[in-house]
């Protein structure tokens, strides 16, 4: 995805395709990869176990999956000249974003309940559940900021696209970590590792991809920088999860 310098700040006309939009003609294919990772990564724990999920988990799973699907559809519509449909779906996207944020906050208490009751699997110890709650809060906040900035920059093509596309990097970590976990279970089998380890190592390919994109477009765009900072949180799941102060705060807020 390369952005010519002359496109920076290109104004988006209200009823016409913005100049230079065809530079994003293949963006939907990149975003479709993120959707595929989400579907495969969450298949064993959610899509193939729908009966075990709570109502809030269903709402979060449905809204997040639809969001990822919309990320694929929107650039395809815009680069094929279907701007009226693109703008209509933009309204739907705002509703979906609200559902993703609200349902994401609603499922956080389950992390703390599982940590205290020790009802989770051996791969998700209390350290992970408390630590990943911090990462989840960071992810929800970053996702919300990215959506708001994409909405506010709707008249600047490059900014609008990059802020919206960056939401992928706020929701990719959970799916990719699960995919890595099941890959390890199949190839290596159970061992001394837990989800603390897989989340830690999952951060590196995501950070690497963000750095690659910044080099490719020759610009450290705020959307990509913010996503990189947010994904750095995955490297600190263990110390945060072991923090007594953080555990006490989570217990007070979520229980």
Tell how far CA 108 is from the center of its chain. Answer: 16
User: 14 versus 153: which is more confidently predicted?
Assistant: 153
What is the per-residue pLDDT for 12? 41
- Range with lowest mean pLDDT among 8-22, 135-149, 193-207, 228-242: 8-22
Confidence of residue 119 (pLDDT cuts 50, 70, 90): low
Give the global pTM. Answer: 0.88
Every domain of the chain and the residues it spans = 22-254
pLDDT band at 10 (very low <50, low <70, confident <90, very high): very low
More confident residue, 123 or 95: 95
- Give me the pLDDT at residue 17, please: 62
> Which range (99-113, 178-192, 241-255) has the least confidence?
178-192
pLDDT classification of 4: cutoffs 50, 70, 90: very low
Out of 1-15, 17-31, 97-111, 159-173, least confident range: 1-15
Token pair listed for 8: 């920076």
Instruction: Find the mean pLDDT for residues 205-232.
Output: 95
Stretch 130-158: mean pLDDT = 95
The stretch 182-190 carries a mean pLDDT of: 83
Cα distance between residue 221 and residue 235, in whole Å: 22
pLDDT tens digits, one per residue of 53-88? 888 889 998 999 999 999 999 999 999 888 899 999
Query: Residue 177: pLDDT above 70?
Result: yes
pLDDT at 81: 86
Using an 8 Å Cβ cutoff, are 30 and 1 in contact?
Answer: yes
Helix (H, G, I), strand (E, B) or coil at 23: helix
Dist. CA 90–CA 98, nearest whole Å? 13
User: Residue 23 contacts by C-beta under 8 Å, 6 or more apart in sequence?
Assistant: 1, 2, 3, 4, 7
């Amino acid at each position: 995805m390369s952005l010519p310098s002359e496109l920076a700040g290109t104004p988006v006309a209200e009823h016409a395709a913005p100049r230079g939009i065809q530079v994003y003609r293949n963006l939907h294919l990149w975003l479709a990869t993120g959707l595929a990772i989400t579907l495969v990564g969450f298949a064993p724990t959610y899509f193939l176990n729908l009966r075990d999920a709570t109502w809030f988990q269903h709402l979060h799973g449905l809204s997040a999956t639809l969001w990822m699907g919309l990320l694929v559809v929107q650039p395809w519509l815009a680069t094929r000249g279907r701007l009226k449909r693109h703008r209509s779906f933009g309204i739907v996207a705002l509703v979906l974003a609200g559902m993703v944020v609200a349902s994401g906050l609603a499922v956080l208490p389950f992390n703390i309940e599982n940590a205290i009751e020790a009802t989770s699997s051996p791969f998700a110890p209390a350290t992970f559940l408390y630590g990943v709650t911090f990462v989840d809060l960071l992810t929800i906040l970053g996702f919300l900021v990215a959506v708001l900035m994409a909405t506010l920059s709707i008249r600047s093509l490059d900014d609008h696209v990059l802020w919206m596309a960056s939401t992928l990097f706020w929701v990719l970590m959970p799916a990719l970590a699960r995919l890595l976990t099941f890959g390890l279970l199949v190839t290596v089998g159970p061992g001394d590792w837990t989800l603390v380890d897989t989340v830690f190592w999952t951060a590196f390919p995501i950070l690497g991809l963000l750095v690659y994109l910044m080099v490719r477009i020759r610009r450290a765009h705020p959307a990509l920088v913010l996503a990189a900072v947010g994904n750095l949180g995955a490297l600190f799941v263990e110390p945060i999860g072991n923090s007594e102060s953080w555990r006490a705060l989570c217990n007070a807020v979520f229980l």
